[in-house]
Amino acid sequence: MKLIIAIVQDEDAPNLIDVLMKNNYGVTKLASTGGFLKSGNTTLLIGVEKEKVDEVIRIIEELCQSRKQVTTSPSLTTLSPGVYVPYPVEVQVGGATIFVVDVDRFEKV
C-alpha cells in the first residue's frame, strides 16, 4: 500500500475531493500553510493500493491548475543600510506537489 500526500491549492481541493470520493478513494483533508507564501493550501492524504497510484496522480494532474500568485519579498535598500523594503514578486504555484510513500502497515480497528 502507498500513501499519496498531495499539496494542492485551496481553490482546487473541493472538486478534487469530490472526484476522488466518487472514484472510491479514501481522502483526508488537512488545512496547511506554505512556507514560502505563508498562505493557506490544502494537503490531502490518500491511501491506495500500489496499482492505483498512477490513476490518482492522473486525476490530481487533471484537476489542479497552475496559477500565478503575487507575494512580497524583503529587499535591502542601498540608500538606507539595514532598511528592508518589500517589493512584489510573482511566483507560479502548483498544480500540485505530490509525495508517494510506502505504508508498512495499514489497519482500521
> Where on the chain is the footprint of ligand 2BA (CB under 6 A)?
7, 34-37, 41, 91-94, 97
The 3-state DSSP class for residue 104 equals coil
In the bound state with ligand 2BA, the residue whose beta carbon lies nearer, of 34 and 47, is 34
Which of 70, 72, 55, 71 has its CA nearest to residue 20?
55
Q: For the CB of residue 98, give the shortest distance to ligand 2BA in the complex, in Å.
A: 10
| Residue owning grid cell 497510484 | 53
In the bound state with ligand 2BA, the residue whose beta carbon lies nearer, of 35 and 81, is 35
d(CA 85, CA 26): 46
CB–CB of 64/96 below 8 Å?
Answer: yes
In the bound state with ligand 2BA, the residue whose beta carbon lies nearer, of 23 and 45, is 45
Residue of this chain nearest to ligand 2BA (CB atom): 34
